[in-house]
A and B are shown apart, each in its own frame.
Chain A
Amino acid sequence: MSLREDQIERYSRQILLPNVGGKGQEKLLAGKVLVIGAGGLGSPVAAYLAGAGVGTIGIVDSDTVELNNLHRQILYSSQEVGKKKALAAQERLEKVNPDVKVVPHVLRLTSENILEVIKDYDVIVDGSDNFPTRYLVNDACVLAKKTLVHGAFFRFEGQAMVIKPGEGPCYRCLFAEPPPPGAVPSCQEAGVLGALAGVIGLIQATETLKLILGIGQPLVGRLIIFNSLEMSFRQVKVPRDKNCPICGEKPTIKELIDYELFCGLNKKEGE
């Protein structure tokens, strides 16, 4: 593949970067990233990946755009309230950059469909908004050995980590099991500062670009915690847990679990 003239112009500011260059841009154009949840995290992730020229971006979301999404979900405008997010996102992203092929997946991920959905992608970005999906995504990525870029927020605080199955810890090495339903309030009940979602989403986008380019130190084996009120980043070590129920020495989880089936959460992606 060689870059067209308009591509050299479009991506010139990142082609200029040492460690990127034309070769790096070609890697990005050949990259395939799946963004799970086109909400507060998925919106900035997808927008920046499209801008950077990541060639294929899959978007998983079964929800429709709501007015109360717009303070943080920057892919959508007021006119798109009521539209399916994955389709509205596709339209917006392809306008931002016609080099990018956007694949909308208007569905809810389950143990039945997730392996099929993730199989064609190189990097999976988790921007979902509930524990059942997050644990399902982690487990599926571990089983399928897909690199996963995790990010999550609560009110004024956020977390991010990169999971490289087999090489570093997974999300269950960090938190072995999800909290029981009701133990942690959802975004609907808890609220969130829209710009905080942007900060965490852009950490995820940055990590994704680094992974495709193969540059820098990925956020593996460490968890970043961002506190927007203090405006501080902290980092803690995340070792691999040999007792991890899915990637440890004696895994007890051998097939995917649909937590919502028995915890009865009102599951919505990308809120």
Chain B
Amino acid sequence: MSVKVRIPQPLQKLTGGKELVETSAVSVKALIAELGEKFPGLSERICDEQGRIRRFINIYVNEEDVRFLRGDATALKAGDEVSIIPAIAGG
């Protein structure tokens, strides 16, 4: 079993419209790198030039924000669901 990753609508144009991506990455950092390889431009949208997760995007492992776990060092295990959730402003 692998880890399921949910790509939010604003980033789906980089994944060719794909909302769910499967990965076997073992950490959030490895996941971001893998997404960047599979979908060019995606890791730059998630992280800044220093490689830190941008302040208007959160990454959740299941229901938990990785900022309150171990940041991008947070480990992933089979069966986890990762959500990438950006700030949106439509009203």
Q: Mark A residues whose CB is within 8 Å of B.
A: 37, 39-42, 126-131, 134, 151-159, 174-179, 183-187, 190, 192, 197, 223, 225, 229-230, 234-239, 241, 269-271
Complex contact B68–A186 (CB within 8 A): no
Residues of B within 8 A of A129 (CB): 89-91
CA distance A76 to B58 in the complex (A): 36
CA distance A186 to B91 in the complex (A): 10
Contact of A152 among B64, B68, B88 (CB under 8 A): B88
Which residue of chain A is the closest to B45 with respect to CB atoms?
Answer: A183
Complex contact B90–A236 (CB within 8 A): no
Contact of B91 among A175, A225, A235, A270 (CB under 8 A): A270
Tell me whether chain B's interface is mostly helix, strand or loop, or mixed. Answer: mixed
Which residue of chain B is the closest to A235 with respect to CB atoms?
Answer: B63
Interface membership of B67, Cβ < 8 A: yes
Complex contact A39–B83 (CB within 8 A): no
> Using a CB-CB cutoff of 8 Å, which residues 62-91 of chain B contact chain A?
63-65, 67-68, 83, 85-91
The size of the chain B interface, using a CB distance under 8 A, is 23
Complex contact B90–A238 (CB within 8 A): no
Complex contact B83–A234 (CB within 8 A): yes
Q: Mark B residues whose CB is within 8 Å of A.
A: 8-10, 19, 54-58, 60, 63-65, 67-68, 83, 85-91
Which residue of chain B is the closest to A41 with respect to CB atoms?
Answer: B91
Contact of A177 among B10, B55, B90 (CB under 8 A): B55
Contact of A40 among B54, B83, B87, B91 (CB under 8 A): B91
CA distance A239 to B66 in the complex (A): 11
| A187-B87 contact, Cβ under 8 Å, with A154-B10, A236-B60, A236-B63 | no
Complex contact B83–A152 (CB within 8 A): no
Contact of B65 among A128, A177, A236 (CB under 8 A): A236
Residues of A within 8 A of B87 (CB): 131, 152, 174-175, 178-179, 184
Complex contact A237–B64 (CB within 8 A): yes
CA distance A206 to B52 in the complex (A): 37
Which residue of chain B is the closest to A153 with respect to CB atoms?
Answer: B90
Which residue of chain B is the closest to A126 with respect to CB atoms?
Answer: B91
Q: Would you give the shortest CB distance from A237 to chain B, in whole angstroms?
A: 5
Q: Would you give the shortest CB distance from B17 to chain A, in whole angstroms?
A: 11
